[in-house]
Amino acid sequence: MEMMPCEQPAVRLIGWLSPYVHRAEVALRLKGVPYELLHDDMASKSDLLLTHNPVHKKVPVLLHGHRSIPESLVIVEYVDEAFPAGPPLLPSDPLARANARFWARFLDDKCWKALWVALWAEPGEARAAAAREAKEGLALLEAQLPEGKRFFGGDAIGLLDIAASGVARWLGVFEEMAGVRLLTEEEHPALCRWAREYAADETVRQCLPHRDLVLAVLTPRRGMFVSTAKAMAAHK
Ligand SMILES: N[C@@H](CCC(=O)N[C@@H](CS)C(=O)NCC(=O)O)C(=O)O
């Protein structure tokens, strides 16, 4: 009997030009998983997005055959486990895994919130306090870079590098748009070096949007950033 080749379920990613979508894309590329990017226009969310992420209605969403997986960090871990053939994205040591997860969550739950208010709030005490908190957060992140290593995960890109990719590309664009400096060579030399290393990586470059493109796409959204920062500062 003739052997039929095993059919692999299709891998598709609903996304657009977003740091969260980049996380999912880079995880797939590092694992060597071919995928199709389905662009979703955030102005009018597609039925596909609303069906597969009814809770948050946000990109990215990974479609793996009939399964759908929302949330960028959840996707990164899913990709790591579902495609074990590629290089591991999480360390094998339980404590190192726990640390990578802790700092990845710190970035989203704490550091980016402070960065956002520091970037977009009206000048004043709330913005100054957020800038101090954001800089402290970046310093804490910098302290996680292992001595003599290129990446948070050692010599290969791992979960925390992927989680921090927004710092490597999008933060500089936001800073330029807002006219605010938060990540500086003087205060965060190792993190700046890491950002350059990350952006220069061969696999990352295949899916990291050019800063000019990010700037062009995000500039018209400035007003929305200002209003979300206002709401965040008010709920602090
Ligand atoms: N926690 C989510 C955040 C995703 C997210 O904020 N996605 C944005 C794109 S940058 C989005 O879809 N925004 C649409 C909206 O907020 O309605 C993740 O990590 O995936």
Say whether both 111 and 49 belong to one domain: no
pLDDT at 153: 86
By three-state DSSP, how is residue 50 classified?
Answer: helix
Whether the CB of 195 sits within 6 Å of ligand 1: no
By three-state DSSP, how is residue 186 classified?
Answer: coil
Asked whether residue 46 is assigned to any structural domain, the reply reads yes
The position carrying tokens 């990352």 is 204
pLDDT at 1: 46
pLDDT at 44: 85
Say whether both 120 and 143 belong to one domain: yes
Say whether both 136 and 189 belong to one domain: yes
Determine the distance separating the centroid of ligand 1 and the alpha carbon of 95, expressed in angstroms: 29
Give the range of the structural domain holding residue 100, as residue numbers without chain letter.
94-234
Determine the distance separating the centroid of ligand 1 and the alpha carbon of 44, expressed in angstroms: 14
Whether the CB of 67 sits within 6 Å of ligand 1: no
Q: How far apart are CA 225 and CA 164, in angstroms?
A: 20
Q: How far apart are CA 59 and CA 7, in angstroms?
A: 27
Strands 61-64, 67-70: pairing is antiparallel
Determine the distance separating the centroid of ligand 1 and the alpha carbon of 19, expressed in angstroms: 9
Say whether both 154 and 53 belong to one domain: no
Query: How many structural domains is the chain composed of?
Result: 2
Say whether both 203 and 125 belong to one domain: yes
Say whether both 180 and 103 belong to one domain: yes
User: Which protein residue's CA is at the shortest distance from atom 19 of ligand 1?
Assistant: 72
Asked whether residue 141 is assigned to any structural domain, the reply reads yes
pLDDT at 40: 83
Whether the CB of 57 sits within 6 Å of ligand 1: yes
pLDDT at 41: 77
Say whether both 128 and 211 belong to one domain: yes
Asked whether residue 2 is assigned to any structural domain, the reply reads no
For the chain, which ranges sit under pLDDT 50?
A: 1-3
Say whether both 65 and 99 belong to one domain: no
Whether the CB of 59 sits within 6 Å of ligand 1: yes
Determine the distance separating the centroid of ligand 1 and the alpha carbon of 24, expressed in angstroms: 12
pLDDT at 184: 97
CATH of the domain at 156: 1.20.1050.10
Say whether both 52 and 117 belong to one domain: no
Using the atom order of ligand 1, give the atom closest to the CA of residue 18. Answer: 10
Say whether both 223 and 119 belong to one domain: yes
Q: How far apart are CA 225 and CA 178, in angstroms?
A: 10
pLDDT at 236: 66
Using the atom order of ligand 1, give the atom closest to the CA of residue 59. Answer: 12
